[in-house]
Amino acid sequence: MKILSIIIIGLLLSNCTNSYVKNKKSITSPNDLMKFTNIWCDKNKSTDRIIKMCGQGWSKDLNISESKAIIDAKLKIADITQHTLVSNEEITHKENSKGVVKSYEKKANNILEEATISGYKIVSKKVMKEKNGWRTMVLLEYKLL
């Protein structure tokens, strides 16, 4: 009996999450945006052959909002597939009247130059009203060769 009640409660909770995303029409607060984004991006289940990435954009213009969301997701995909990491390390020893002073500095830059992301597919898109503009969420799918 306990197992059956746990299963029923679990199904109800998962159904509430799906209905939350499906029925959402506007964003009212930063916490609301964070909750929606976490649920929306939970669809982001990549495999060895497919990268799924969520992106979001806000603008007073609906088309600009959608373009920002797609660019956001494409940048995340490009960062995974075509980035270069440049790392510099510097160790300095200076001698003064009190002794030797040692310092250490490490810098790392993630460089993304001339990335091409073609062949992506929009898996799902959600547009909501937020304040005096539009919030667009997209989920892109990119197949690796």
Amino acid at 133: G
Pairing, β 121-130 against β 26-27: parallel
Q: How confident is the model over 60-118, as pLDDT tens digits?
A: 999 999 999 999 999 888 888 887 777 888 888 888 888 888 888 888 887 777 777 88
Q: Where are the domains of the chain?
A: 2-83+116-143
State yes or no: pLDDT of 132 exceeds 80: yes
**DSSP character string of 43-93:** T----SSEEEEEEEEEESSHHHHHHHHHHHHHHHHHHHHH-EEEEEEEEEE
Model pTM score: 0.66
Q: Three-state SS for 9?
A: helix
Q: How confident is the model over 4-63, as pLDDT tens digits?
A: 455 555 544 444 445 666 667 788 888 888 888 888 788 677 888 889 999 999 999 999
